[in-house]
């Protein structure tokens, strides 16, 4: 049956309203202006529609937290107790909260993605519910959320508790490659599973960890040698229909999303779309476009089948140490393109910190920490045990958006030049917004590795704007203020800039 109407707009309805409001925008072509490349120039003319171009509300960004251990290269899970904030010294915890997660004086990241069954994997004696695996685990999460000003966790399963699985284990794949899923899809079993999953959230919420989002299963089409659980489309539908109503009843304001891999366009998403009973519990569709070229979001179709619900990326990282494109700019483009062309209300990077011991850490992290057991100082020799440092290539791509894109900012349309075929420029991106307090801000990029690009930006105001530049080795470099209404801003190669209206 339908869930009850709320007396005020909830997080779910606000997100859905943002998507509906932006749906027509996504379908409309960019305004055709003179094509700068055709004239052999290195500039373009842009007009920010701060007057009547309001689009979706951008809620804020998310990150994932490794609060327990995983083997290097994701090859299984050790018994070792290791994670953040646990491994950090008290002063380094505070620095982590303030310098990475919060950044500003008020708040920075909005959501912390929490991998239930992987990075929060202690189990009760009956093997059916998750609790702390080490003393104080949830208390540390609560401390982090409070001190960093985070709204809450995006709680999502990598595996249900082991007693629900065919192999009685969190691991989803054996040495022969066989995948594992739920032991039973009988209605009584799924009903009990739903009660257990509500209890998992209760364990967190009653200990000071608010729940902002919930997902049934991370990448339900995959099996791995770490925590995972395979669902085919009918199985996913059956489990979702049994569990999601229970989550909604106990946590009515939590945003429920599906399917944390292929959104509405994957097999599991299509099964939900075809089932009205299940569909009423979906508040958003989530995709994983891990380390992909961000031009996908300029031309790709992520919204036509979304049925008025927002779409967003809730996992982005790089699986390999190198790529054929500059990762710093590509990550910034992923954020901007999801929001500009797909009207997304949020975007998630995978891990805030990864350990110095893991081979995948450079591609996965915004920073590194050294666990107390790591005595190999040939790697990251500047990081002491219990301390952490930034991973500039990834951090510089995300930091400016955390700092200069506050919660609940409203994106505004920008009229920009297009190519002869009507397609958008992809090397030079622009995105503009107003903060909830009305401050005007816009971001610019230049993906070229050799040629500067000049943006002639009509801000529709005579106010001044001050600039802040980021790049692979540049962090928040201050730039001289410029006064409108038209700002001529030359962005050097491989750079991201944020221009903030001064009071």
Q: What is the pLDDT of residues 255-274, one digit of tens each?
A: 999 999 999 999 999 999 99
Q: Classify each residue of 87-124 as buried b or exposed e, where b means 16 or more C-beta atoms within 10 Å of its C-beta.
A: bbeeebbeebbbebbbbeeebbbbbbbbbbbbbbbebe
When computed from its CA atoms, the radius of gyration of the chain, rounded to whole angstroms, is: 23
More confident site: 290 or 178? 290
Bridge partners, residue 113, by sequence:
64, 154
The two counts, helices (H) then strands (E), for the chain are: 11, 23
Q: Where are the domains of the chain?
A: 60-184+194-232+247-270+282-316+341-390
Question: What is the SS3 assignment for 269-305?
Answer: HHHHHCCHHHHCCCCEEEEECCCCCCCHHHHCCCCCC
Q: How high is the pLDDT of residue 246? A: 98
Mean pLDDT of 105-116: 97
The values of phi and psi at residue 296, to 5°, are -50, -40
Mean pLDDT of 358-374: 97
H/E segment holding residue 158 = none
Distance of CA 201 to the CA centre of its chain: 20
Q: How high is the pLDDT of residue 493? A: 97
What is the pLDDT confidence band of residue 41, given thresholds at 50, 70 and 90? low
Q: How far is CA 207 from CA 86, 203, 469, in A?
A: 17, 7, 40
Q: Which two tokens stand for residue 383?
A: 């990081």
What's this model's pTM, rounded to 2 decimal places? Answer: 0.93
Q: How high is the pLDDT of residue 234? A: 98
SS3 (DSSP) at 357: coil
More confident site: 397 or 11? 397
Q: Which fold has domain 60-184+194-232+247-270+282-316+341-390?
A: TIM Barrel (3.20.20)
Nearest 5 degrees, angle CA 239-CA 281-CA 155?
Answer: 70
Distance of CA 114 to the CA centre of its chain: 12
Computed over every residue of the chain, the mean pLDDT equals 92
In this predicted structure, the answer to whether residue 491 has a pLDDT above a threshold of 60 is yes
Cis peptide leading into 327, omega within 30 of 0?
no
Place of tokens 């960019």: 30
pLDDT tens digits, one per residue of 333-357: 999 999 999 999 999 999 999 999 9
Weakest mean pLDDT among 6-10, 68-72, 147-151, 471-475: 6-10
Between the two ends of the chain, the Cα-to-Cα distance in Å is: 50
pLDDT tens digits, one per residue of 52-99: 999 999 999 999 999 999 999 999 999 999 999 999 999 999 999 999
């Amino acid at each position: 049956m339908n869930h009850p109407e709320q007396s005020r707009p909830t997080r779910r309805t606000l997100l859905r309203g943002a998507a509906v409001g932006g749906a027509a925008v996504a379908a409309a072509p960019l305004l055709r202006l003179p094509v700068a490349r055709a004239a052999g120039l290195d500039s373009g003319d842009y007009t920010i529609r701060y007057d009547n171009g309001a689009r979706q509300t951008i809620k804020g960004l998310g990150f994932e937290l490794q609060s327990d251990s995983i083997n290097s290269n994701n090859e299984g899970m050790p018994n070792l107790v290791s994670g953040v904030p646990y491994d950090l010294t008290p002063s380094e915890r505070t620095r982590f909260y303030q310098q990475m997660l919060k950044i500003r004086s008020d708040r920075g990241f909005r959501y912390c993605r929490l991998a239930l069954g992987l990075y929060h994997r202690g189990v009760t004696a009956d093997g059916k519910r998750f609790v702390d695996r080490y003393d104080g685990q949830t208390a540390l999460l609560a401390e982090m959320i409070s001190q960093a000003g985070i709204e809450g966790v995006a709680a999502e399963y990598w595996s249900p508790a082991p007693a629900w699985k065919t192999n009685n284990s969190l691991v989803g794949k054996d040495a022969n490659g066989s995948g594992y899923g739920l032991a039973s899809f009988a209605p009584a079993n799924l009903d009990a599973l739903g009660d257990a999953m509500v209890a998992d959230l209760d364990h967190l919420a009653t200990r000071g960890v608010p729940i902002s989002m919930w997902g049934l299963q991370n990448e339900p089409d995959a099996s791995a040698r770490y925590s995972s659980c395979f669902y085919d489309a009918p199985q996913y539908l059956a489990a979702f229909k049994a569990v999601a109503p229970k989550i909604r009843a106990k946590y009515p304001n939590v945003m429920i999303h599906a399917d944390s891999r292929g959104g509405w366009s994957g097999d599991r998403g299509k099964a939900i779309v075809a089932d009205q009973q299940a569909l009423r519990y979906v508040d958003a569709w989530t995709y994983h476009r891990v380390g992909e070229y961000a031009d996908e979001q300029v031309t790709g179709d992520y919204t036509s089948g979304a049925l008025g619900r927002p779409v967003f990326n809730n996992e982005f990282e790089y699986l390999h140490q190198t790529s054929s494109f500059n990762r710093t700019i590509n990550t910034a483009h992923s954020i901007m393109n999801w929001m500009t062309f797909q009207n997304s209300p949020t975007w998630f990077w995978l891990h805030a910190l990864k350990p110095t011991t893991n081979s995948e850490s450079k591609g996965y992290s915004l920073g590194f920490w050294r666990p107390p057991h790591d005595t190999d100082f040939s790697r990251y020799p500047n990081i002491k045990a219990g301390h952490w440092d930034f991973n500039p290539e990834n951090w510089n791509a995300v930091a400016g958006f955390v700092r200069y894109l506050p919660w609940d900012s409203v994106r505004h349309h920008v009229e920009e030049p297009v190519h002869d075929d009507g397609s958008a420029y992809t090397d030079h991106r622009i995105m503009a917004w107003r903060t909830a307090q009305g401050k005007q801000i816009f971001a610019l990029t230049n993906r070229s590795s050799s040629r500067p690009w000049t943006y002639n930006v009509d801000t529709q105001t005579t106010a001044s704007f001050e600039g802040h530049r980021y790049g692979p080795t540049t962090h928040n470099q201050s730039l001289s203020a410029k006064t409108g209404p038209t700002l001529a801003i030359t962005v050097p190669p491989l750079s991201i800039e944020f221009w903030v209206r001064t009071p």
